[in-house]
């Protein structure tokens, strides 16, 4: 198994090297750049130029350095994510338990949910300006609904017999909430966290497209205005790295918190 894994890594490395070589040297052959537009360095720059701009953009002498941009995007995403997840979770938990409230709110929630959230970016910018608040609000809006819907479904799907067995064991309403609804819904909630963090990042970046002068999104828009494709590539690569890192962290947390679910451990054959 081990050698197989290494051979997979080997071929992945080969692909990366081949792509980088074509990118670096293919883009310097006039015939290629004339006929294949996507390989024109005007659009995609070159790896060496990207590395060079990466270093230049990180220069501490700049008014806003690249690490500061990353931090800004990251901070807005994470704050929005936490606020969105906690509010979405609580709303889902309580609305899922109260069938009456759920019935009252259902049409509004569905109407709001069908609206593409990205379409709300201009409205959020209008309301909250070009600063941090607007970006956080965007991430919050997105995370809230993703987490809310999943948690809501999770609570509605809690096994009635498990609830009844808790009642028969003498649980109070609060104890049933804590020991049955909450952990049962958590499985559903956590399933929504990986998409939530990814979409939160999208929301923040789009917010940055529209306004302000911080963040990775602003760097992308700026590079479009200045026709500096190397800067755009730097921004995209950093953004991909940030996205992957966030998703991995969330998945780790999910794995730990849902360790009771069969898919997270190798099942042992229980014998009677």
Partner 1 sequence: MTSLPHPRELSQPADVRIRIDSLHRRFQLKDREVVALGDVTFDVADHEFVSLIGPSGCGKSTVLNIAAGLMTPTSGSVHIDGELVTRPLAKVGYIFQKDTTFPWKTVEDNIGIGLAYRGVPAEERRRRVAEMVRMAKLEGFEKAYPAMLSGGMRQRVALMRSFIVEPEVLMMDEPFGALDTHTRLNLHDELLRLWERTRQVILFVTHDLSEAITLSDRIVLLSHRPSRVKAIVDIPLKRPRDVITLRETPEYLEIYRDLWHLLGEEFQLESEG
- Interface with partner 1 by CB under 8 A: which residues? 159, 161-162, 164-172, 175, 179-180, 183-184, 186-187, 259-262, 265, 267-272
Q: Which two tokens stand for residue 3?
A: 């050698």
When the beta carbons of 59 and 269 are compared against partner 1, the nearer one is 269
Distance of CA 254 to the CA centre of its chain: 14
**In terms of Cα–Cα distance, which of 175, 194, 181, 169 is closest to 244?**
194
State the nearest-atom distance from the C-beta of 97 to partner 1, in Å: 17
When the beta carbons of 116 and 269 are compared against partner 1, the nearer one is 269
Q: Give yes or no for a contact between 135 and 204, defined as CB atoms under 8 angstroms apart.
A: yes
- The DSSP symbol for 265 reads S
Q: Give yes or no for a contact between 81 and 200, defined as CB atoms under 8 angstroms apart.
A: yes
With a CB cutoff of 8 Å and minimum separation 6, the contacts of 202 are 118, 142
State the nearest-atom distance from the C-beta of 115 to partner 1, in Å: 35
When the beta carbons of 4 and 161 are compared against partner 1, the nearer one is 161
Distance of CA 185 to the CA centre of its chain: 21
State the nearest-atom distance from the C-beta of 185 to partner 1, in Å: 11
| Residue carrying structure tokens 């509010």 | 87
When the beta carbons of 77 and 151 are compared against partner 1, the nearer one is 151
When the beta carbons of 101 and 169 are compared against partner 1, the nearer one is 169
**In terms of Cα–Cα distance, which of 142, 149, 165 is closest to 93?**
149
When the beta carbons of 42 and 260 are compared against partner 1, the nearer one is 260
When the beta carbons of 169 and 224 are compared against partner 1, the nearer one is 169
State the nearest-atom distance from the C-beta of 256 to partner 1, in Å: 13
State the nearest-atom distance from the C-beta of 172 to partner 1, in Å: 7
Between CA 272 and CA 265 the distance in angstroms is 21
Q: Give yes or no for a contact between 220 and 236, defined as CB atoms under 8 angstroms apart.
A: yes
State the nearest-atom distance from the C-beta of 249 to partner 1, in Å: 22
Q: Identify the helix (H) or strand (E) that includes residue 145.
A: helix 132-156
State the nearest-atom distance from the C-beta of 155 to partner 1, in Å: 14
Between CA 133 and CA 127 the distance in angstroms is 10
């Amino acid at each position: 198994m081990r050698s197989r894994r290494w051979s997979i890594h080997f071929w992945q490395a080969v692909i990366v090297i081949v792509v980088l070589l074509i990118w670096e040297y293919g883009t310097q052959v006039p015939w290629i750049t004339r006929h294949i537009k996507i390989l024109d360095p005007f659009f995609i720059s070159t790896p060496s130029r990207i590395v060079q701009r990466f270093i230049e953009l990180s220069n501490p002498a700049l008014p806003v350095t690249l690490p500061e941009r990353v931090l800004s995007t990251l901070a807005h995403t994470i704050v929005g994510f936490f606020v969105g997840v906690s509010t979405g979770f609580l709303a889902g938990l309580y609305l899922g338990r109260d069938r009456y409230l759920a019935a009252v709110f259902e049409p509004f929630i569905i109407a709001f949910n069908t609206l593409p959230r990205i379409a709300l970016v201009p409205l959020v910018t209008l309301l909250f300006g070009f600063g941090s608040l607007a970006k956080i609000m965007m991430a919050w809006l997105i995370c809230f609904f993703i987490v809310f819907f999943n948690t809501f479904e999770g609570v509605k799907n809690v096994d009635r017999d498990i609830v009844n067995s808790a009642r028969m064991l003498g649980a109070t309403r609060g104890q049933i909430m804590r020991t049955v609804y909450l952990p049962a819904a958590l499985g559903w909630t956590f399933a929504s966290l990986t998409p939530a963090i990814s979409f939160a990042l999208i929301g923040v970046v789009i917010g940055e497209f529209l306004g302000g002068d911080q963040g990775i999104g602003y760097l992308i828009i700026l590079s479009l205005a200045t026709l500096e494709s190397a800067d755009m590539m730097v921004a995209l690569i950093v953004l991909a790295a940030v996205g992957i890192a966030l998703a991995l962290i969330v998945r780790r947390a999910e794995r730990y918190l849902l360790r009771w679910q069969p898919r997270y451990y190798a099942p042992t054959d229980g014998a009677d």
